[in-house]
C-alpha cells in the first residue's frame, strides 16, 4: 500500500501593501466603504484590514516555514494552494505573491516563503476569486494570474498533476478546476451589488475538462483521482455571498466519475462534509493562511492507495500558536 501526503493551504491573500490601505485617497475611500458594507454581507468572515483582507506578513512567514519543513523533510509530497494566493489579480499583488514562490539563494526556512519548495517542483496551485479581481472594485475575469504563474498553472481553466509514492509506485492524480466568475453579471441574484466578489459558478465546459482529465488518468491506469477547486460546493453552512452557483453539478460529475474527495478553500475554515445529494463525495476545505487569528490554519491530508485505488483519506488539522509562532496539530 502506498501513502501520499499533501499539505493543503489556501487563501494566502498576499498583497503589495500588507495590512495597509492604498496610498491614494480615492482607493482608500473606496476600500473603507467596502469594509463597512462587507461587515453586513460577510458577517462570518474576518479581514486583517481593508475590504479584500490584505495579508499579515508574520502569519504568512509562519505558514511558509511550516510548509518548507514539511516538504523538504519529505513528510509531504506536495504543497497544494487552493486559490486566493493574492489579494487581487492586479499586477502589484500578483508580483508580491510571485516573490513568495520565487527560488532564492537564502534558505526558505529563514525567509518564510515557498521558494525552495517550488524549486523542487513540489508546489501545486489554482486561482481563486481574489486572483481574478481585475481592479480594486473586485471586477472578475482578470487573466494576469495565468501569465505570471504559467509554469504552475499551465492551462487557463483546468490542470492535472500526478504524485507518485517513491516506495511502491502508487499514484494520486489531482485534477484542479477554476470556477471563478468571468463576468459580474453571472452573480446571483442579478442586480444585487457586491455579490460578484465572493461567488463562483460551475462552468460546464470547464467541468467537462475536469471529467476528461479524470478519464485520461484512468486510461493510464491511475484510478486514484481527487479534485481541487477554490469554492466548496454545497457548503452546508455557507452564505449566498460566498456560494458556488450550480455547485450540485460539480458534485454530480464527481460522483459519476468515481471521485470521492474534492479539496477546496474560500471559506477560511477547516471543515469536511458529505456534499449535496451524494453520500460518497466528501468536500475537504482548508483554513485561511493570511491572518494570525483563529482562522489561520492548514491541514495535512494522507491518502492511502492500494492497487491503484484510493482506499482512505486521513486528515491532521493545524492551528496557529501565537506564543510559539508556529502551526501545531489540533
The pLDDT, as a whole number, for residue 51 is: 43
CA-to-CA distance for 153 and 134, rounded, in angstroms? Answer: 18
pLDDT surpassing 90 at residue 64? yes
Distances (CA, A) of 188 to 191, 193, 201, 214: 8, 10, 10, 30
The pLDDT, as a whole number, for residue 312 is: 95
The pLDDT, as a whole number, for residue 56 is: 80
The pLDDT, as a whole number, for residue 47 is: 42
Q: What's the pLDDT tens digit per position in 219-242?
A: 988 899 999 999 999 988 888 999
pLDDT surpassing 80 at residue 34? no
CA-to-CA distance for 72 and 67, rounded, in angstroms? Answer: 8
Segment among 65-74, 103-112, 140-149, 152-161 with least mean pLDDT: 103-112
The pLDDT, as a whole number, for residue 208 is: 98
Q: What are phi and psi of 205, to 5 degrees?
A: -65, -45
More confident residue, 24 or 186: 186
Q: What is the pTM of this model?
A: 0.90
Domains and CATH numbers, the chain: 2-11+56-329 (3.60.21.10)
The pLDDT, as a whole number, for residue 53 is: 55
Segment among 37-46, 205-214, 251-260 with least mean pLDDT: 37-46
Residue partners of 264: CB distance under 8 A and separation at least 6: 10, 82, 228, 229, 230, 231, 232, 233, 283, 284, 285, 286
Residue partners of 230: CB distance under 8 A and separation at least 6: 10, 82, 83, 84, 126, 127, 128, 129, 178, 179, 180, 200, 264, 265, 266
The pLDDT, as a whole number, for residue 29 is: 57
Q: What's the pLDDT tens digit per position in 179-209?
A: 999 999 999 998 888 899 999 999 999 999 9
Percent of the chain whose predicted confidence (pLDDT) is above 70: 86
Give the up-direction half-sphere exposure of residue 264: CA atoms within 13 A in the CB hemisphere. Answer: 33
Q: Is the peptide bond before 69 cis (omega within 30 degrees of 0)?
A: no
Amino acid at each position: 500500500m502506498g501513502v501520499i501526503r499533501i499539505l493543503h493551504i489556501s487563501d494566502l491573500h498576499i498583497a503589495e501593501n500588507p495590512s495597509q490601505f492604498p496610498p491614494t485617497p480615492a482607493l482608500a475611500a473606496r476600500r473603507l466603504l467596502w469594509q463597512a458594507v462587507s461587515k453586513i454581507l460577510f458577517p462570518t468572515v474576518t479581514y486583517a484590514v481593508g475590504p479584500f483582507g490584505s495579508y499579515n506578513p508574520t502569519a504568512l512567514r509562519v505558514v511558509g516555514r511550516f510548509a518548507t519543513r514539511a516538504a523538504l523533510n519529505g513528510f509531504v509530497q506536495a504543497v497544494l494552494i487552493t486559490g486566493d494566493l493574492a489579494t487581487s489579480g492586479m499586477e502589484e499583488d500578483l508580483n508580491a505573491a510571485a516573490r513568495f514562490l520565487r527560488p532564492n539563494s537564502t534558505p526558505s526556512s529563514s525567509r518564510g516563503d515557498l521558494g525552495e519548495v517550488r524549486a523542487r517542483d513540489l508546489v501545486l496551485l489554482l486561482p481563486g476569486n481574489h486572483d481574478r479581481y481585475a481592479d480594486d472594485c473586485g471586477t472578475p475575469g482578470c487573466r494576469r494570474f495565468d501569465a505570471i504563474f504559467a509554469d504552475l498553472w499551465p492551462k487557463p481553466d483546468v490542470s492535472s498533476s500526478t504524485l507518485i509514492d517513491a516506495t511502491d509506485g502508487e499514484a494520486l492524480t489531482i485534477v484542479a478546476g477554476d470556477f471563478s466568475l468571468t463576468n459580474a453579471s453571472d452573480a446571483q441574484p442579478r442586480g444585487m451589488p457586491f455579490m460578484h466578489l465572493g461567488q463562483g459558478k460551475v462552468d460546464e465546459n470547464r467541468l467537462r475538462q475536469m471529467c476528461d482529465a479524470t478519464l485520461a488518468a484512468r486510461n493510464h491506469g491511475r484510478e486514484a483521482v481527487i479534485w481541487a477547486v477554490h469554492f466548496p460546493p454545497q457548503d452546508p453552512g455557507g452564505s449566498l455571498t460566498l456560494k458556488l452557483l450550480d455547485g450540485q453539478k460539480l458534485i454530480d460529475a464527481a460522483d459519476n466519475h468515481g471521485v470521492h474527495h474534492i479539496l477546496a478553500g474560500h471559506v477560511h475554515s477547516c471543515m469536511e462534509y458529505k456534499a449535496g445529494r451524494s453520500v460518497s463525495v466528501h468536500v475537504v476545505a482548508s483554513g485561511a493562511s493570511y491572518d494570525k487569528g483563529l482562522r489561520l490554519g492548514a491541514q495535512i491530508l494522507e491518502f492511502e492507495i492500494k492497487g491503484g485505488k484510493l482506499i482512505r483519506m486521513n486528515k491532521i488539522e493545524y492551528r496557529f500558536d501565537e506564543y510559539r509562532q508556529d502551526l501545531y496539530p489540533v
